[in-house]
Amino acid sequence: MTTIREACPVAAPKPMMKHHAAMAPHNDAILALIEHRQQSDERKPIIHEPAYKDDDAEALAAGGPKMVEIPVVKQSREDMWKKITSLKELDEYDCQAWRRTKKCNPRHPRTPAGDKSCTRQIQANEAGFCEYKNRRTGELRVLMPATCKSRYSTLKYTCLDAKKMLRYNLMALDYTPEEPLSFATCQRNLLEENGFQIANDNQAGAMDTESNNTIPASDLVRVVQDPIAAIQDNSVVVQDAKSAPPSFSKGIVYVIYDKLLLSVYASIRSLRQLGCTLPIELWYSAKETNISHPILLEVTAKYGAYLREIRDPRATKFYTKIYATFYSAFDQVLLLDADNFAVRDPSFLFQTQEFNNTGAIFWPDFWRPNRTIFGLTSVSYVWELLGIKYVNMFEQESGQVVIDRRRHVKAMHALLHYGLSEPHYPATMNLLWGDKDLFRMAWLRTNSTFHMIERPAGSAGMKAEHLDVFCGVTMVQHDAQGDVLFLHRNLVKFSADTRDRMWSHIQQYKTGQTLQHYDVKGVVDHRLFPQFRKCYGKRIYYKRSYTLTDINEFPFKNLETELIEYVIEGDRLSKQGIEANSSIASIEQHKA
């Protein structure tokens, strides 16, 4: 194969000087010649650019790349757009340059005058692509193609980042966590973190991480039914009075920290009042949570809740929910935000046809393409970054998620990659907000099945007296039949000082119509609702497409009152605990 030694980039031509009007015919001829040469250049293999390797960054900063020999190949423009599909293949490619294109489209003809080296920052309003060359074969590939509307203006990157971003994309299908997933180990961890110990590991099979066997249910049943007999039988040792979960088949998962404890207490108390008996995991970070808090002592002692520690320092903020889902002890999980309240026992979700058919149920956010506050449109760069074909559907709201973890191991690994791998490109590039769409993206990336609840999210809030003006402060989510199931109080959370009633009405989009008139705005009229920072829903002119129903017409009309009572109860527990701790500290200090 013929090779050619690369040359340094040729300096861009100087801008043409203005000429006298009499020179116009001559100018036209020159411009026509330039255009002809540019078009000819676009049809030729590009071989006169330096190859930038990842480890050349320091050399580039010091004065330029090394001269390398690259094979010359004949290649069509479409061949350049073939996808790199493996990490091994990606490692063979080095950056050439940023190629700017016309008319806001990376597939349109190039504008060579707008090309940049691999180290130059690319502006968000520039359309084009990063050109990479295979150092072994000389083939060219397009990386990071972008329209002029696919990125936020604050985004800063160069073509050297393109390889890192594609690596992030491909790792979703090839991610191996530092702590491998073992269902038996996850179950064992719950038991050990909550004071239980399996005495006979060989008999129980708890350490059989290769086959992912479950700890035998018989051992756990003996703990629940007859702890003394279990101890005498030498199969399970119980170190305190709590009972282990009767089953690891299904459970509820929360992520908590101190400021959410009143909400999670109200949520757990309400679930038990509704008849829900599913075991509950409370995932916490030791830096953010006092596990001796009276509320946690209460729910773990009386209401079937178990503490689980988040031990990976990368699992912070939004990504704690992803970590908790991945390492939960339960085979099938209902992930709930602490400020999300079920209006009836949600256990039935695990028996629905939608869940049995797909193994995952997701819920829609208010936003969808072209009507979004997060920029997640058809031209968003997120689709290219994650390697997903654009899907015209609602964004996801992750205040509630139902997943069969055993069925969706592949998708869960992609999800954990999105949550733990750094940098978090979707967030740092302002392409996605937090974790809310990462579940959906992980399932789409791995071609995994899920059911998205069809009825759009509604709002619970207050109606202005004597006026048809509505302020929604709580997101309303439905079941597959379109009935209200969850009230996510995500705008005004419960606290010791915030426990006022604010659910006088529920606004819902009418069924049996297209989404043409589904339009949610985040605005508020402070003259009518001075107590609220923002309202979501259809504020005015809603009667054509929305229903507005008095809360008293629903079977859960007393839910908010009950939740407030639980918040007051939790606050009283907290204060009693603080007083008790103060008394103990005072006595110990007096003794000293």
**Contact criterion met (CB below 8 Å) for 3 and 72:** yes
DSSP structural state of residue 117: -
Threshold 0.85, pTM exceeds: no
State residue 173's pLDDT score: 96
State residue 207's pLDDT score: 36
How distant, in Å, are the alpha carbons of 46, 67, 119, 123, 136 from that of 98? 13, 19, 9, 11, 21
Give the angle 28-31-32 at the CA atoms, nearest 5°: 85
Measured distance CA(303)–CA(283) in Å, rounded: 16
State residue 12's pLDDT score: 45
List the domain boundaries for the chain: 45-171, 183-238, 250-446, 458-557
How distant, in Å, are the alpha carbons of 188, 220, 222, 244 from that of 229? 21, 12, 7, 15
State residue 227's pLDDT score: 36
> For tokens 């009507």, what's the residue?
371
State residue 429's pLDDT score: 87
> For tokens 């003394």, what's the residue?
228
Q: Give the pairing of strands 484-488 and 305-309.
A: unpaired
Q: Give the pairing of strands 250-255 and 332-336.
A: parallel
Q: In what order do the strands lie in the sheet with 93-100?
A: 93-100, 128-134, 140-146
Measured distance CA(508)–CA(479) in Å, rounded: 13
State residue 498's pLDDT score: 86
CA atoms within 13 A on the CB side of 520: 28
3-state class of 259 per DSSP? helix
Measured distance CA(290)–CA(252) in Å, rounded: 21
Record the tokens describing residue 459, joined without a space: 């709002």
What distance lies between CA 577 and its chain's CA centroid? Answer: 36
Length of the chain: 592
Record the tokens describing residue 329, joined without a space: 């002890």
The string of DSSP letters for 474-491 reads: EEEEE-TTS-EEEEE--S
State residue 154's pLDDT score: 67
**Contact criterion met (CB below 8 Å) for 313 and 287:** no
191-217 burial string, b = 16+ CB within 10 Å, else e? beebbbebeeeeebbbebeeeebbbee
State residue 223's pLDDT score: 42
Record the tokens describing residue 197, joined without a space: 């110990």
State residue 2's pLDDT score: 39
In 3D space, the residue among 237, 238, 243, 247 whose CA is nearest the CA of residue 215 turns out to be: 247
Measured distance CA(365)–CA(388) in Å, rounded: 20
In 3D space, the residue among 102, 105, 130 whose CA is nearest the CA of residue 116 turns out to be: 130
CATH fourth-level superfamily of 250-446: Spore Coat Polysaccharide Biosynthesis Protein SpsA; Chain A (3.90.550.10)
Measured distance CA(519)–CA(538) in Å, rounded: 7
Beta bridge partners, 488, equal 340, 475
Please list the ranges in the chain whose pLDDT falls under 70: 1-72, 152-154, 199-241, 578-592
**Contact criterion met (CB below 8 Å) for 524 and 531:** no
Residues with Cβ within 8 Å of residue 524, at least 6 apart in sequence? 471, 532, 533, 534, 535
**Contact criterion met (CB below 8 Å) for 86 and 45:** no
- In sign, the C-alpha dihedral spanning 358, 359, 363, 368 is negative
